[in-house]
Amino acid sequence: MNDQKNLSVSSPPPKRRRRRECLVFPVILLALAFYYALYFLLRGPLPANPQLIAHRGGADYNPENTMAAFRHAVEMDADWLEMDVQRTQDGVLVVIHDETVDRTTNGVGNVGDFTLEQLRALDAGNGEQIPTFEEVIALAKDVNVGLLPEAKSPSLYPNVETEMVNAVVEADYLSQTVFQSFEMEAVENLHRANAAVVACPLYRLWWEVDASAPPGDAPVLCPMAEMLLVNPWLVREAHRAGREVYVWFGVLENPMMMRTMLAFGVDGLMTNDPLMLGDVLNR
């Protein structure tokens, strides 16, 4: 009986509080609209030719990081091939994303514990083999597309940055290559290996980015697209510092997100779906 009385006294909430609650959502929307409108007003001119980068060779269509994927990416009009580079036990640079072969092949174990011959015996999907970095460089050079190799987990492979740079220099393809790494020291090492190297730091969070003084004085910055939703100003800062911005997608990879990134002014987009981005770019 008493409980019922208490309930009827405590509800419903006072009118003023309800009015305040109703205002919260429109005020947030208005603030967001102002935030993005201000950005679009001040962002400056958009890049004339945003680059289509096939992430892991365009992983939505073929087993990722395989020669089949890279060849198909070229057919899908990719300007660049993105790939992940690691090293075998016998010192050969190979193209594979994870530190282990478990997810992408029919084998089990650490990439660095396999010899090239053992790795080549694995099925990387649809009968494809894990390619060597040299093979992918040769393909890129053959069809004249850009090369965007990532030094993946470089701390596991001492000196891998120099070896990657040397492989590209030997193929005489440095001018069409942009190296990448999540490890800022590796970005510095790539640049140290050869002053002509263009290396791009990869960022997951916007506060990691220093657009005015990135590691290795990088001319290209590679943030996760989703972080630009929170802070598009990063693109403007990079452009004002004379640098380009190539984005990669975390989870929100769709046409609306691609259009948003283009409207923010990014210079390149890494995508698992080159055909989708091709449509967005009206190619």
β-strand partners of 221? 245
How many whole angstroms separate alpha carbon 124 and alpha carbon 64? 8
84 versus 226: smaller Cβ distance to Ca ion? 84
Burial degree of 275 (CB within 10 A; 0-12, 13-18, 19+): middle
121 versus 184: smaller Cβ distance to ligand G3P? 184
191 noted as active-site residue: no
Contact between 78 and ligand G3P by CB under 6 A: the answer reads no
Contact between 253 and ligand G3P by CB under 6 A: the answer reads no
- Write down the catalytic residue from 72, 97, 191, 239: 97
Burial degree of 172 (CB within 10 A; 0-12, 13-18, 19+): exposed
Reported residue count of the chain is 283
239 noted as active-site residue: no
Burial degree of 88 (CB within 10 A; 0-12, 13-18, 19+): buried
Q: How far is the CB of 271 from ligand G3P (least distance, A)?
A: 10
Assign 3-state DSSP to the chain and report helix, strand, coil percentages, each to 5: 45, 15, 35
β-strand partners of 150? 84, 180
Q: Which of 66, 88, 105, 180 binds ligand G3P (CB under 6 A)?
A: 180
Other C-beta atoms closer than 10 Å to the C-beta of 60 total 16
Contact between 64 and Ca ion by CB under 5 A: the answer reads no
Q: Which of 84, 128, 163, 253 binds Ca ion (CB under 5 A)?
A: 84
Contact between 96 and ligand G3P by CB under 6 A: the answer reads no
Name the closest residue to ligand G3P (Cβ): 248
How many whole angstroms separate alpha carbon 106 and alpha carbon 122? 6
Q: How far is the CB of 116 from ligand G3P (least distance, A)?
A: 22
When CB distances are held under 5 to 8 angstroms depending on the partner's kind, the choice from Ca ion, ligand G3P, none that residue 248 binds is ligand G3P
Contact between 150 and ligand G3P by CB under 6 A: the answer reads yes
**Residues in contact with ligand G3P by the rule CB under 6 A:** 55, 82, 84, 97, 150, 180, 202, 248, 270
Task: Write out the catalytic residue numbers.
Answer: 55, 97
